Amino acid sequence: MAPYLLGLRLDGRRVLVVGGGHVAQRRVPTLLDAGASVTLVSPSVTPALDDLIADGRVTWERRPYQVGDCDGAWLVHACTDHREVNTAIAAEADAKRIWCVRADDKDASAAWTPASGRVDEVSVAITAGGDPRRAAGIRDAVVGALRDGTVDARRHRTKPVGVALVGGGPGDPGLITVRGRQLLAQADVVVADRLAPRALLDELPPDVELIDAAKIPYGRALAQEKINELLIEHARKGKFVVRLKGGDSFVFGRGGEEMIACARAGIPVMVVPGITSAVAVPASAGVPVTHRGVSQEFHVISVHVAPDDPRSTVDWPGLARSQGTLVLLMGVERIGELARTLIRDGRSPETPVMVVQDGTLPTQRAVSATLSTVAERVTAAGIRPPAIAIVGEVVRVGQEIEMVRAERVP
């Protein structure tokens, strides 16, 4: 029997996911994008899922599945590595008339997860008799045609070789470049950072190997040396490897280190630039990093180490004397210390500041303050990484733009 296709509106509804491996890692972000209230049951989870849990977007029950876990759920995903556990989950869900998707057995599954993609307001979902690879291929063709504006999306190019360093952009999956999306669709292996556009990972065909290279601030991280080894190892096997990062690979993305490592190993490398969050996130919040008569320069600073740390190479006194815009990356955890340093070195305490969390994503939010108040405001608002701080008079320009917009709303 052909399945009856239905678009579920999951906003605010409880969805149970049992299992914390790579299948769950692919599905949970898509469920969150649909607004679902996700409960994850598993003794352990991947680093990427750990990051979503730390962000408060997923409720994690750190234990094995128990009878009764399906209570109150509208949808269940059985994603464990144990067939008997998935069978028990599906049986409980069926007894309670809850739709259940089994990752391990399409024939025993009450529902199938289609190969899905999204372009602007158009969602595409394909089933192909339970054949995920065929469904993913058809989905890719339709989504590719929608993205490129073509009717015939079939590809006739020779398959790439080596490694592609692809900048995924600031977060919104629609902001990856066309070239980056094309190469991602042809990858055999994808090595993804935690800030890479997660929704794109769910579009990968099931035979693509996804390697989680998440580096969580003050948490779990895959060493850069190990990442370099993985790129070289898979490329030497004849696989096309895409290293997918947030922003741009060469803007605090360590893309230069990866390129050198591959070059030394004789691995061909192509670079696909991405839109750096240093410019895109201020723009998404309505703040231009430069503005005529206000700022003719902007500085992008990585603040992964404190200003007084011996490893810091930043000229903080010079930045404080500058009239240019400062864009501070990876600094939200020490924003108070940064503000005090800038004030001490000459910036006015009344200098406007905006801190933007989850820039370009549906969850984006911003806090406006001054150097003297920003630490208090950020703490009160519960702002956490990933967030970017913009320091300078251009913040007032953004506020003026917002006021003009508000005045013109009928």
Q: Give DSSP secondary structure letters for 121-174.
A: TEEEEE--TT-HHHHHHHHHHHHHHHHHT-S-----SPPP-SEEEEE-BSS-GG
Give the Cα separation of 145 and 150 in Å (integer): 5
Interatomic CA distance for residues 162 and 182, integer angstroms: 15
3-state secondary structure 209-220: EEEECCECCCCC
What are the start-end ranges of the E strands in 334-394? 352-357, 365-370, 387-391
The residue type at 216: I
Kindly calculate the radius of gyration of the chain based on its CA atoms and give it in whole angstroms: 23
Q: What is the DSSP string of 366-378?
A: EEEEETTTHHHHH
Q: Give the active site residue among 55, 94, 106, 215.
A: 215
Long-range contacts made by residues 94-100, C-beta under 8 angstroms, separation at least 24? 96/70, 96/71, 98/70, 98/73, 98/74, 99/74, 99/75, 100/70, 100/75, 100/76
Q: Side-chain half-sphere of 222: how many Cα atoms within 13 Å? A: 16
Contact 48, 215 (CB under 8 A): no
CA distance 104 to 135: 17
Determine whether 69 is an active site residue. Answer: no
The SS3 of residue 253 is coil
Q: Kindly report the CA angle at 191 between 254 and 285, in degrees rounded to 5?
A: 65
List the structure tokens of 165.
Answer: 């360093």
- Distance CA(168)–CA(196), nearest Å, equals 6
Amino acid identity, position 183: L
Helices H / strands E in the chain, number of each: 13, 17
237 tagged catalytic: no
In the set 69, 104, 193, 248, the catalytic residue is 193
Tally the C-alpha atoms within 13 A of residue 372's C-alpha that lie toward its C-beta: 6
Instruction: Report the catalytic residues.
Output: 193, 215
